[in-house]
Amino acid sequence: MDFAEQVRKNLEGKLRIEDGNCGTTHKVLKEISKLGGKAVTWERPDGVFSKILDNNGNVVGEGEGITWPPAILFAMVEGGFFPKEIESQLTRSLQCIIDMEKVADIYGYGRVVTPVAAAYNEVWKNGGRVAIRRNSWGVEVVFIDKDNMEMAVGPISYCPTCGTAATIPRAPALAAKIKEELKDKRNTGKDKYERGMENHFFFKNDRICCEIIEKGQVLGRALRCCIAYAGVAAEVHAGIAGPKWGALFKEYCRICPTKLCRKGKNTGEEANNLLVSLEKRNLKTDVRMDTYITAMVKKDGELVGEGIGTVCAFSSLMYAKARCIQLRSEIEVVRE
């Protein structure tokens, strides 16, 4: 039995569409890690290239994406880590790959948080809002203007942040403005590409571990609740990210009310299930950028829950659920 086949066997009956692309990727990476494998990614001008390595260091899957997590999922799909029926569904849920070059033209090198934050601020500044909703195994992001009209609808994407990045090119005036704003900004992904750095992702003690490696030397290491957060935190530890992010993320971990990684749970799986639950109850989710990415859950236009997060609105949603009594009462399971 080869490596991918063993992973498939160990996960039989455990993969659910409700967990979404993000929750599913983490579930599969955890099994890959248990068997001695890992995911490795490299920043490139047009996004991120990824490989899945087995327990012997052999390449058993390759992929690409606009940033680390969707690139890892694509490598898993290409490596045959999913049953055929799920594989085809996941491929359709990674439509953001189609927009890789357009996304990279705005900022590039797999960096999405900076342009996404700029997009949130610009849309809200002009009286609009940014909505997220589930679509198949993925997430769809919508830019809505001050007149409540849809300005742009993004492709089915890995998560809210990836989805927002892929939506920006579909609003040409906004894309041009953000590209101009960011043209002279430092790009950590570009620095890593020029230095030939690698990002190694695997589970350790029920948390995602990311190691930043240059010429065989580990420069930074971090354990966090998801791939994206671990990656950025490892960059902070390596001294290649701005000090602002380091201070923000350290403070967020201190005040985080969920502590999911201590419970052996991943943010993507929990948040995707929460988003499904919200939509079943006709609750809408908007996202904006304050100091942190902020998710706002509304019922009939009225705010019932709000939470802050790090690199993705999923962490914001989990924060809102943990802290807001009104939101918890709305999504409480009714037992018959």
Question: Could you read off the pLDDT tens digit of each residue along the chain, which spans 336 residues?
Answer: 799 999 999 999 999 999 999 999 999 999 999 999 999 999 999 999 999 999 999 999 999 999 999 999 999 999 999 999 999 999 888 887 778 999 999 999 999 999 999 999 999 999 999 999 999 999 999 999 999 999 999 999 999 999 999 999 999 999 999 999 999 999 999 999 999 999 999 999 999 999 999 999 999 999 999 999 999 999 999 999 877 777 888 888 889 898 887 787 889 999 999 999 999 999 999 999 988 999 999 999 999 999 999 888 999 999 999 999 899 888 864 333
Helices in 259-335 by DSSP H: which ranges? 267-280, 313-323, 325-331
* DSSP helix/strand/coil, 11: coil
The residue behind tokens 């999913």 is 82
Give CA–CA dist 223/37, Å, rounded: 17
Nearest to 225 by CA among 309, 299, 141: 309
Nearest to 182 by CA among 104, 66, 124, 234: 104
CA-derived radius of gyration, the chain: 19
What is the end-to-end Cα distance of the chain in Å, rounded?
44
